[in-house]
């Protein structure tokens, strides 16, 4: 096994199995063809054809009314078991991060529509006389996704209406009991993106990454039940675990690889170096900036 195996695990995608999801003529997601058929009965909200899934012309134009109409069409699917893990947590639907929000959608449905979702991940590390050490969390066994897998010090999705920094502070307090005075010292160091098929649907994620150096006397404590315990591991153990096993949650492994590249622990002579660098930014996103 190797680092590149972790990247390849986040690059599973079969384009012919999907239809574009369009809102106001803009492609904002991808819907699996079998799930598209489950949407067809809600013809007042969704229009399903051989070419695409779109919001119906009869659906409301106002973002708030759209949100309510879409939720009304999706709740029966959740009750039928087609959308497990309904959380009443809205995520923004837009052409790309930073674009106008067209409406919001229940988090559990976002992968089913292949909507680009955002989140934050925080690498918590400590400089000790024995070398660099990293805080690792183990996800609770009752988590809907990747129960029992290893995770970063802090990680979480960005809900609708909340900024990246606000999400950082919220998740740091809930997941690791870090006050804003501590979490606010986290340094934004970039983003990791990917597109991959998972059991919950097509994940098209943008993960905003932070590094947070902590003193030795700060010990994280979970307060929301999502992390069962924390470990402070020597970086060598973190490296070996990511490289040789799949113990880390699929996207958390990418965050570790990104850290190792940025801090020089994976160098230019690594055989898969360029593939790793490219694989950590594999989701092509439209923007109003440079041409692609």
Please indicate, yes or no, whether residues 233 and 274 belong to a single structural domain of this protein.
Answer: yes
Asked if residue 240 is part of any domain, the answer here is yes
Judge if 213 and 133 occupy the same domain. Answer: yes
Q: Report the Cα 20 to chain-centroid distance in Å.
A: 20
pLDDT of residue 241: 98
Q: Are 257 and 162 members of one domain?
A: yes
pLDDT for 287 equals 58
pLDDT, tens digit, 9 for 90 and up, residues 77-104: 999 999 998 989 999 999 888 899 999 9
Domain-embedded: residue 292: no
pLDDT in tens, 160-192: 999 999 999 999 999 999 999 999 999 999 999
Write the CATH number for 64.
3.30.750.160
268 with 127, same domain: the answer is yes
CA distance 36 to 38: 5
pLDDT tens for each residue of 137-161? 999 999 888 999 999 999 999 999 9
69: left (phi over 0), alpha (psi -120 to 50) or beta: alpha
The residue from 68, 86, 112 where one domain ends is 112
Q: What is the CATH number of the domain that holds 274?
A: 3.90.79.10
Q: 205-255 pLDDT, tens per residue?
A: 999 999 999 999 999 999 999 999 999 999 999 999 999 999 999 999 999
| 169 occurs within a structural domain | yes
- CA 251 to CA 278: how far, in whole Å? 15
Query: Residue 72: inside a domain, yes or no?
Result: yes
Query: Per the domain annotation, does 287 fall within a domain?
Result: no
| Two structure tokens written together for 119 | 């989140």
In the chain, how many domains are there?
2
Q: Do 58 and 168 sit in the same domain of this protein?
A: no
Q: How many CA atoms lie within 13 A of 18 on its CB side?
A: 22
Give the distance, in angstroms, between the CA of residue 290 and the centroid of all CA atoms in the same chain: 24
φ/ψ of 147, rounded to 5, equals -60, 140
- Using the structure block, give the residue that is written with the tokens 């195996």: 5
* pLDDT given for residue 286 in this prediction: 67
Question: Are 38 and 158 contained in the same domain?
Answer: no
In a domain, 94, yes or no: yes
Assessment of whether the complete model's pTM goes beyond 0.75: yes
pLDDT in tens, 194-205: 999 999 999 999
Supply the range of the domain harboring residue 160: 3-11+117-279
Q: Is residue 290 part of a domain?
A: no
Which pLDDT belongs to residue 292? 42
Question: Which residue, of 78, 112, 146, is where some domain finishes?
Answer: 112
Shared domain check, 208 and 147: yes
For residues 39 and 98, membership in a common domain is answered with yes
**Same domain as 227, residue 124:** yes
According to the model, what pLDDT value does residue 95 have?
87
- Collapsing DSSP to helix, strand or coil, 248 comes out as strand
| 261 in the same domain as 146 | yes
Q: Out of 70, 92, 112, pick the residue that ends a domain.
A: 112
- Other Cβ atoms less than 10 A from the Cβ of 50: the count is 7
Statement to judge: residues 107 and 144 lie in one domain: no
265 shares a domain with 122: yes
E strands in 33-159: 46-48, 53-55, 90-93, 103-106, 116-128, 131-139, 150-151, 154-157
């Amino acid at each position: 096994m190797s680092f590149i195996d972790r990247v390849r695990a986040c690059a599973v995608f079969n384009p012919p199995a999907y239809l574009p999801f369009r809102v106001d003529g803009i492609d904002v997601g991808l819907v699996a063809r079998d799930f598209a058929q489950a949407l067809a009965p809600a013809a007042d909200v969704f229009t399903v054809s051989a070419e695409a899934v779109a919001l119906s012309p009869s659906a409301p134009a106002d973002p708030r009314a759209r949100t309510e109409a879409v939720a009304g069409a999706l709740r029966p699917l959740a009750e039928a078991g087609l959308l497990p893990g309904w959380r009443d947590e809205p995520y923004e639907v837009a052409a790309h991060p930073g674009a106008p929000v067209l409406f919001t959608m229940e988090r559990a449905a976002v992968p089913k529509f292949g909507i680009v979702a955002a989140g934050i991940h925080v690498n918590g590390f400590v400089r000790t006389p024995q070398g660099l050490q990293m805080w690792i969390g183990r996800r609770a066994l009752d988590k809907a996704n990747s129960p029992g897998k290893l995770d970063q010090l802090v990680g979480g999705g960005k809900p609708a209406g909340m900024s990246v920094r606000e999400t950082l502070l919220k998740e740091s307090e809930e997941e690791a009991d870090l006050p804003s005075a501590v979490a606010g010292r986290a340094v934004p160091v970039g983003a990791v993106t990917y597109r991959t098929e998972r059991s919950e649907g097509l994940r098209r994620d943008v993960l905003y990454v932070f590094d947070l150096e902590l003193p030795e006397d700060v010990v994280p404590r979970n307060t929301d039940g999502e992390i069962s315990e924390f470990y402070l591991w020597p970086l060598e153990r973190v490296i070996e675990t990511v490289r040789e096993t799949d113990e880390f949650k699929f996207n958390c492994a990418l965050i570790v690889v990104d850290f190792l590249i940025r801090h020089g622990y994976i160098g230019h002579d690594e055989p898969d170096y360029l593939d790793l660098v490219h694989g950590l930014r594999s989701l092509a996103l439209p923007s109003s900036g440079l041409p692609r």
